Each structure stands twice: as C-alpha cells, then as structure tokens.
Chains A and B, each alone.
Chain A
Amino acid sequence: MKIIQVKNLKKSFKTGDTELVVLNGMSFEIEAGQFFCITGRSGSGKSTLLYQLGLLDHPNSGEIIINGVNVSALDKEGRTKFRLRELGYVFQDYALVPELSAVENVVIPLLMQGLEKKEAYKKAENALQKIGMGERFNNLPNQLSGGEQQRVSIARAIAHEPHIIFADEPTANLDSETADSVIKAFLELNSHGQTIVMVTHEPEYAKLTNRIVKIGDGKILSDDRPESVI
C-alpha cells in the first residue's frame, strides 16, 4: 500500500532577483511500513523535501497524497489537524519544550487530540517506556542527556500512533553510541510496521533502512533498496 505519493513536486526560494530551485518536479511513492531514507550532500534539499512531505512547508506546485488524502489542497488549519492525527516528528535538535518534563512533552499532542488526561498520560508513559525512558518521566529536558532528549522526542512522535514518522537528521547531534541506540529505536519501531521517513547524511545509518533516495540538483539521483543490495 502506498502511504505517500509525490507528484511533480516543485519548491524554490527567492533571494532578491535570483530563484533557487531546490525541488524540481520530483515524483516518487513510499510504501506503508517502509523505513525511507533521504540522503544527499549539504544543501541538496533533503530537509526541504522532508518539510514538504511533513506538511511543515508548502510546495510551489505538485501534489502530495498521504494515506489517500491530497494534503496539498488542505488549508492551514487542515494541515495542522492532519499533522496532529497522522504524523510524528523527530527533529535534529530534539525540539523539546524546556518547561515541560519528559512525560509532559510527550503528552501534549495527545491532550490536543482530546484524550482524557489519565488516558493521555498512560499513553505517553507507554511511549516513553517503549523507547527505554521509563525511569525519567518527570525530568526536564535540561536534566537529560542528548540521547535521552532524542528518545523523548521519538516518544512524542510515536505516542499518538501516527501513520508516518518524519525524522530530520535525528542522530546529527549525538555521539556514535547514542546515535546507534536512536537508530536502533527507529528500527524497532519499523519492525512493528511503522512507516519512517528519515533524512540523514550518515551512510552507515542510511544502509540500515529499507530504501535510500539520494537527491541533488532538485532531482532524485538514485533510489536504492539496501536489502537487495545487502
């Protein structure tokens, strides 16, 4: 089943009189349950593509269909609601709210979905336990290590059981040991059927995914499936 369909996606940025084309008519599809990796050199448009797919930005043209919904046609409010229900995010710098404890950071999207407090907290705690943060529920982000913060960020992304998780360079700020554990957590989630779209510039982590799409000059340069390669 195709969970994401991208058709002729274009995105450019204007700087003064010059127009920088970052995505130049890109088309591809992602299967449900796939661990999809976007790679490319710096400035190739990896993150820009992820932001379009994750509905954090609006393309200039083209269509994105997620789970059968043409999300390109959604208005601002519709996109926000769609993100809340269907998508989860893991950012490079963890992006936790500093005044909220680990469990509170995880519980907010659940509360926004209208879940009762008790149920929301139960789900948030389960998500934290699932990624090995069961002991640190009440710690504030500044009381956690980088790896732990990223784990909380993953817990926040999975707590509401989204269809797709988008991860933007989730290991970039972590030491190799911690980064390994984060990738391991993603693999574990993926093994249970979770669709993950991850941007990384680290080949050793890219190789662990189901599919590696390398982009450059606004186009797809290669589309590999590591299992077949391996």
Chain B
Amino acid sequence: MQKQKKKIDEFLISLKLGFFLATRQLKRSNKATTALIIFVMTLTFLNLVVIRGVLVGLIQSTIDVYKERYTGDVLISTPIKKDYIENSPNIIEIIKNLPWVQSYSARYTKSGKIEGTYKERINYTEKANETNGIISGINPTNEDATSGLSAKMIEGSYLTPDDTESVMIGAYLLKKYLPIESATFKTLENVGIGSKIRLTINGNVKEFTVKGIVRTKVDEIDMRVFMLDSVLRTLAGRTDYNVNEISIRIKPGADPVVVKNALVKSGAGETARVQTFEEGLPKFVTDMKNTFALLGNIVGSIGLVVASITIFIVIYINAITRKKFIGILKGIGISSEAIEISYIIQSFFYASIGIFIGLLILYLGLVPYFNAHPINFAFSDGILIAEFSATSWRVLLLMLATIIAGYVPARIVVKRNTLDSILGR
C-alpha cells in the first residue's frame, strides 16, 4: 500500500516536472517550427473531418432534399397492387385531425405522354419530340406548404389555383436541363416557358402552356408535370377522390414514427402504404450513404496515420537533436518518466492547438461556407456535415494518435544509454 502511494507520488512529481520542462521548451522553441507543426495538425484534423463530412454531406443533403421536396416527414402511397389509395378522403380527414400535422399534400399521379413542338413538326418520318412521364395533380397551395416547390422554380412561376390551362414541368424532362440521349429515355427539346405542350392521359389529349420549370434534384419531382388536381381528374376521367400519394409535413419536434403509428392505428395502413421518410428512401440512397461514410473513414484513417507519422518524425527529430540534454537530465537524476511526459505534453499541445484552430475553421468557416455555397451535386446540393458527436470522436482519435506518436520517439531516445547520450555517441 505504502509502496503504491510512493509510486503515485513519484508519478505526480514526474508529471509536474514533465509539465515544467514541456512549457519551457514550447515557450522558448523556434516559433516557426511550432507554427508549422500546428499547421500540419490543423490540416490533418480538417482532412479527418471535412473529407468524410463532404462525402456524407452529399448523401445527407440528397436525403434531406428527398424528404423536403417529395416524401415530407411521412408518406402515404399507393399499395403496389392498387392503382390508387382507396378511401383517400377518409385518410385525409384523419390526417387533418392529427395534432402533429403541419401540412399535407394529396397528389394524383398518372402516366402520360408529353409532346412538345408538335405544331412545328413537318417531317413525320422523324421521331416526335415527346416523352413519357408522370403527370401529377396537386393543390398548389397545399403542395407549396408541404414541399415548398415555389422556391425551386428555375424558370417561370409556380401554379396558382386558377391555372387550369397551365402546367409546371420538371427540369429533367427538358433537354436543356438534362442533355442526355438514350433509347429508353427522351427529353423534350425546345420547350420552355410559354411553350405549348400536349398531354395524353388514358387516351384523352389536352394542350397546356408551360408556366414554370421546377428543379429540386429529386427525380420524383423533376421528372413530373404538375397541374391542378381538378384538371388532372377531368383529363384522366377520374370521378372519385382517391389520390395516389399524400406527403405529410409534421410540426417541429414531432416524431414521424408517432405520426405513422397513429395513421396505421386509425386504419390508413389497410388501404395504403404508410412510411416515415426514412422508410421511404430508395435503398440505393442508404447504401450510398453507408459507402460514402466508409470512404470518408478510409480517407480519414489514412490522414490519421500520416498525422501520426508526421508527429512521430517531428518529436523524434526534436528528441534526437536534444539527446545530449536528455542524457544530462537523466544524468542529474531526472526520471525517464518526467522526460517522456514532457514530450507527451508537447505533442498534446501541438494536437490541441491544431485541433482548436481546425474546429474554428470548420464551424466558423467551412460549415457556413458550404451551407451558403453548396456543392452542385447531381442528386442534391452537397453540404458539409460535421455533427458534434462524430467530430468529438475524431478529436479524441487524433489526440490519442498524436500522444502515442509523441511518446514512442521520446521513449526511444530516453531509453538510450545515459552516458552515450551525454557524450553524443
């Protein structure tokens, strides 16, 4: 017991002296070298956090925009074997009475043919400027309250409840915004605001004027043509009020799972698929998220190894050039532990200052910058994700790696023969 106490006391003395030596060395060392080491630590930290953050951010923003513009927090959709959600009016009534619901948008959808520039067509041996897509009937007010589509108009303007002769077209149906040619998928050429397009649904044909072009980077929206729900019902010959999907936006703080369960409990699940936005995500998106996170971790791990090696080299060079003084310290009776601790403290200093600067750059510079100027990614506007928990974990990891990388070379030099060190042998 007494022996143990003595050991603890000795360790505390070594700790104090290690701190004493480290602070003096840091204070009086070459400022440029110290700045360079801290700079390397900052870059390493950013490499560890930012690359993963951007990769995950690309996918997370895809998920966010999918939820924001298409599914809402909860999506009620048509069962695979049905054409529409039966008893839709009843379900809508249930939705209206749920306390957590902020807004909802009931959408009719039908497959249809979309033709452009048909009036200018002269040569009928050539393929028509047409494509197939989903025609969606919406209540513009409800839709905007739920998905905020009016904010995503890239040309023209959003539909109003009086626009019975106009449609809003998704950007990916237009060659101007999706310039790809494929045997199975065509886009419309020379169609823009004010153009006439002809829609054929269930054999019924009607001409509309393009009022707006919407682009959300969500295929389910950008490959649709939107019109008033009443107009679509007439055009498709639908006499019932059964819709095909209902997107629900819930109040802040409410839990989508609770809303989903309430809907299922009230019978909505019998005639429709009720899913939270997470359940409604396409599998490839979640797979991509996991893959990108893995890639980010691999890149980050390489960065961590590089940082460890850098610190190892820096501390090793520092220790080896000071081996004479290390020898002298040992010679006059300073414990190896105290000398090693002084190097660990120096490594800790480099890491903590580097990380602190990295955190400032991250949260005061990069995150706000990427939020203001997202990366233009095909599926979304990529932002930088740097959650506190993930960042804290990486901070700890980098600290640990740095401390080990600082300790090992110090230990190597300290373990050398005292006299050899003093005599510079």
A and B are partners in one complex rather than unrelated chains: yes
B window 177-231: CB within 8 A of A: none
A98 B325 Cβ-Cβ under 8 A: yes
Q: Pick the contact of B333: A51, A91, A112 (CB < 8 A).
A: A112
Chain A residues positioned under 8 Å from B165 (CB to CB) = none
Residue B418, interface by CB 8 Å? yes
Inside 8 A of B21's CB, which chain A residues have their CB? 97, 100, 108
Contact A104 B24 (CB under 8 A): yes
Q: Mark A165-178, 1 if CB is under 8 A from B, else 0.
A: 00000000000000
Interface membership of B419, Cβ < 8 A: yes
Say yes or no: B418 contacts A56, CB within 8 Å: yes
A108 to B329, CA, bound (A): 9
Is there an interface contact between A95 and B328, defined as CB atoms closer than 8 Å? yes
- The B-contacting residues of A in range 67-111, CB under 8 angstroms, are 80-81, 83-85, 87-89, 91, 95, 97-100, 104, 108-109, 111
The listed residue (A88, A100, A156) touching B24 by CB distance below 8 A is A100
In the complex, are the beta carbons of A91 and B24 less than 8 A apart?
A: no
Contact of A56 among B14, B16, B28, B331 (CB under 8 A): B331
Check B28–A108 contact: CB distance below 8 A.
no
Residues on the B chain within 8 Å of A51, using CB: 419
Query: Taking the nearest CB of chain A, how far is it from the CB of B33, in angstroms?
Result: 13
Contact with A along B12-31 (1 / 0, CB 8 A): 01101100110011011100
Shortest A119–chain B CB gap in Å is 14
Band of interface residues on A: 20 to 34
Q: Does residue A217 face the partner (Cβ distance < 8 Å to B)?
A: no
Question: Contacts A111-B13, A111-B16, A114-B13 known; A140 to B331 CB distance under 8 Å?
Answer: no
Least Cβ–Cβ distance between B28 and chain A, in angstroms: 4
Q: Which residues of B contact A84 (CB under 8 A)?
A: 332-334
Within 8 A of A (CB), among B400-425: 418-419, 422
Considering only CB atoms, which chain A residue lies closest to B13 in the complex?
A: A114
**Residue in B21, B328, B329 whose Cβ sees the most chain A Cβ within 10 Å:** B328
Please name all residues of chain A whose beta carbon is closer than 8 Å to the beta carbon of B28 when the two chains form the complex: 98-99, 140
Nearest residue in B to A101 (C-beta to C-beta)? B24
CB distance from B343 to the nearest CB of A (A): 13
Closest CB-CB distance, A99 to chain B, in whole Å? 4
B422 to chain A, nearest CB (A): 7
State whether the Cβ of B111 lies closer than 8 Å to any Cβ in chain A.
Answer: no
Q: A81-B333, A109-B332, A109-B333 are in contact. Are A99 and B13 (CB under 8 A)?
A: no
Q: Which one of A83, A97, A100, A114 has the highest number of Cβ atoms from chain B below 10 Å of its Cβ? A: A97
Q: How far is the CB of A86 from chain B (nearest CB, A)?
A: 9
Which of A99, A109, A111: most chain B CB closer than 10 A?
Answer: A99
Chain B nearest CB, measured from A44 CB (Å): 17
What residues of chain B lie closer than 8 Å to A223, measured between beta carbons? none
Distance in Å: Cβ of B30 to nearest Cβ of chain A = 11
Contact surface of B with A, Cβ cutoff 8 Å:
9, 13-14, 16-17, 20-21, 24-25, 27-29, 324-325, 328-336, 338, 418-419, 422
- Cross-chain pairs A/B with CB under 8 angstroms, 25 sampled: A56-B419, A56-B422, A80-B333, A83-B333, A85-B333, A87-B333, A89-B331, A95-B328, A97-B21, A97-B329, A99-B24, A99-B29, A100-B21, A104-B24, A108-B17, A108-B21, A108-B332, A108-B334, A109-B334, A111-B16, A111-B17, A111-B20, A112-B333, A112-B335, A114-B13
The 5 lowest CB-CB distance pairs between A and B, nearest first, are: A84-B333, A99-B28, A83-B333, A95-B328, A56-B419
